[in-house]
Amino acid sequence: MSDQQVIQRETPAQDTPRGLSVWVPLVMRWTIGTILAFLIGSWLVWWAMHLQRQFAEDEIRAACQRLMPDTVQRCVDTVVIQRGGARR
């Protein structure tokens, strides 16, 4: 008897079809990434608009405070309406 061991070659498992199964994870990643990019972009646009509106209102309020200290809110509302924005 010899000290050698017989190694049998394993037959490779059947390959799965590479058509659809390869593309599904890739498409899912792209879809999720696109949705996240859209949501983050939309939020950034909203935030920029909010900041711009806030800064404009602060400037209007400061100008009204200098010109009409007794009726600041009325002045702010009038200027905002005249500029075409609805305040409330």
Domain spans of the chain?
A: 45-88
* CB of 81 closer than 8 Å to CB of 73: no
pLDDT in tens, 4-46: 777 777 766 665 556 667 778 889 999 999 999 999 999 999 9
Q: What is the pLDDT of residue 10?
A: 75
Kindly state the percentage of the chain with pLDDT values over 70: 83
48 or 3: which leads in pLDDT: 48
Instruction: Tell me the one-letter amino acid at 84.
Output: G
Q: What is the pLDDT of residue 71?
A: 92
Q: What is the pLDDT of residue 12?
A: 62
pTM of the model: 0.59
Long-range contacts of the stretch 28-32 (C-beta < 8 A, 24+): none
